[in-house]
Structure formats: structure tokens, C-alpha cells
Amino acid sequence: MVKRARNSTIEKFLRARGGNAASNIQKRIDSIHSAVLLTTDHSGVLGSELFTLIYLCASAIALIDSHSQ
């Protein structure tokens, strides 16, 4: 999923999470785009994607909650 994201989106995310210097951010983006799957086992991949989706939803809810107070 992350590989499909635009570089600007990934950069915004990394900076919002307290990312390092610009050179490190670009290295991380390059690493993301050159990454390969460690497994093609669908149960492992789907489990990881489900965990990521749950984490992103929880993060969004926390962000919305912090802005609504």
C-alpha cells in the first residue's frame, strides 16, 4: 500500500511523525519504493494489511478527537 503513495504524501507523514533531516526522509522514501515482499503467503500479507488499516483508523480517530477538544 505504501509503495503506491505519492512521495509528497510519505514525506508529509514522516515529517508529522517527527521525521529526521530531509536527506534521511528521501532515503526512507527510496527504501520504500525499492522494497520487496518477504512473503507471498496471502495470510501473512493480509494480516499485515489488516493491522495497518486498524492502526491508521485508530490514528485518524485520535487525531480527530484531539482537534475536537
Summarize pLDDT for 8-65 with one digit per residue, the tens: 888 888 878 775 666 688 888 888 888 877 767 666 667 777 888 898 999 999 888 8
Quick one: pLDDT at residue 22? 64
SS3 51: helix
Residue 52, H or E segment: helix 42-67
pLDDT range class, residue 1, cuts 50, 70, 90 = low
Contact 33, 5 (CB under 8 A): no
Which sequence spans correspond to the domains of the chain?
A: 1-36, 38-69
Residue 17 CA from chain centroid, whole number: 10
Quick one: pLDDT at residue 19? 59
- Distance between CA atoms of 11 and 6, rounded to whole angstroms? 9
* Report field, pTM of the whole predicted structure over 0.75: no
